[in-house]
Structure 1
Amino acid sequence: MKGVLLINLGSPESPTAKDVKPYLDEFLMDKYVIDYPYLLRALLVRGIILNTRPKASAHAYQQIWWEEGSPLIVLSRRLMDKVAPQVSVPVALAMRYGKPSIETGLQELADKGVDEVLLLPLYPQYAMATTLTILVKAEEVRKTKFPNMRFSDVPAFYKQPGYVQALANSIKDGLVGFEYDHLLFSYHGVPERHIRKTDPTKSHCKIDGSCCVTPSEAHKVCYRHQCYETTRQVVEVLGIPKEKYSVTFQSRLGKDKWLEPYTDVTVNDMPAKNIKSLAVVTPAFVADCIETLEEIGMRAKEDFEANGGEHFHTVPCLNDRDDWAAVVAGWINDWAK
């Protein structure tokens, strides 16, 4: 029997330092997130970050926490609840970190008699720290807990027509009544070394401005290329001229070189370039979360206005939009035939 597991990033159980600390430990100790050797990673995470960051992160979560719980998990459940009635197979939800775990989601499907699972990572663009770690973790759980299950997965859907159209629709709807000088596509950042590590050719990804537009098999797993390609296709659908939009990368950690340009630096500089009305969309996420609601919706807004910006507007993620739920259901139905 077939079934589907929708998988997103995850969230602490509550916006308290007590619950944020174990969540950050699981997240940051993942070798696909911070890809240092184990001892160095442990020293950095458990010796430094977990002694300083949980309190600040808890405060950030408190700013965006909903009465029903974590926005990311609430919105992911709402999406699942819209998708489930449109498909002919059982659907469950899991998070890579925190609860509900991948094991819990697979157990839910197994209890319904499912032995063939479609893994659907809720990340449009492929990256080590998102898609890859989900697939690796799911396989680990399968081998130890569900050896008779069979897996297949939905590849990065960054340029899938249904996704592109739903994203374009959401931006169009999200900008109703807002006259913007500039539309910023802000994607989650990754270290540049992650791009090179995932390059199957070991030579194509030079991050020099040309490799992302030069055809290569590396593009199937190149996060940077996929971000720019998502943007290119969406602005083409919407008819946005080149001078009215740009791409940046947010949420960097540590002192390593991450993908540029950086969102915070760009936003701070925009008012001086006579961009007084700024709209921001965050297409690396399909559900609003701390990175979209707090980092962009609050901190970036404050910085923009502090530097002379006048109007700042965030476009909501796809969340549980009807057209997005229909796209996901369509993928599942095509697979389940």
Structure 2
Amino acid sequence: MTDKFVFADALQDQELLRSLVERSVDGLMAIDQDGKVIYANPSAIAMFAERMPELIGSHFGIPAINDAVELVLHGRAGVCHVEMRASEFLWGSKAIYLASLRDITQRKQFSDSLQQREKTLQNIFDILPVGLWFADADGRLERGNKAGIAIWGSEPKVGIENYGVFKARRLPSGKEIAADDWALAHAIRDKKTTLDEMLEIECFDGSKKTILNYVAPVLDENGKVQGAVVVNNDITERMKTEEALRESESHFRTLANSGQALIWTSGLDKNCNYFNQVWLDFTGRTIEQELGTGWTEGVHPDDLQMCVDTYCQAFDRREKFSMVYRVRRHDGEYRW
């Protein structure tokens, strides 16, 4: 091959290299040892269009070598985030710095959006009024939210083999839960979902609470367990209220049935929902027959309309009322 062809090939290679550099979507700059830009491709010029309108010949400074530096630039396309990396090499006897500039605006926006979503999920996690726990694929508890920690009084980050640190009994059976029999263990091992499991738990401070336990495995697209979610709903106060209500109702029924008065109660729909035993013994009817408007069947026909009008009008006005009427006794005789 003659020198002429070698020279032509070299020129062609240089032209190809120049074309590649000029058309690169990444910005490229050459900076001399005094920090002055001696070359910039079109992408780099566009990125610095507002900050350095005359980029070539401007003083840029010595870039950090091998470290990624993020720059916020106002280019022709608007604000953009640029990641810059630089390397040093010798051109003859002089140091030259080659800076590569990559537009990471979309990546930055995606990252910011992801961080915002994570922050939102974290806020939801923290403010939920029920206890929430996450376990990994091996069943190890990774974290609990504030409500969950408040319920148990601690945040044990333990695996299945140490579930024995949790003490509880299933209700209403009262059976104590073994370490390997927790719903979370079944979710991890057997992919089992547990709903509305009522437990009496012994908290880490020694107190006892009643909770509803919900557990579900988290599966990937192939059905493999990736972890599990546990929800604890503290119903201690609700159970105390319901128990107090039952005791109050029982006390009322005892009093209602121990006297001689005929007693009934009604709901907001005006339908009667309770008759004491004295009433039932007097009428000789069952409570099922009397409930709702069934009691009117025992009212004397001549008194019925007056009873209904008096009752409904007073009920609508939320007023006290009294009325005198005849009711059929169990032997068929009407009594005042």
Say which structure is richer in strand: 2
- Both structures adopt the same fold (TM-score exceeding 0.5): no
The TM-score normalised by the length of structure 2 is 0.14
Q: Which has the higher helix share?
A: 1
TM-score (norm 1): 0.14
RCO greater where, 1 or 2, for CA within 8 Å and sep 6 or more?
Answer: 1
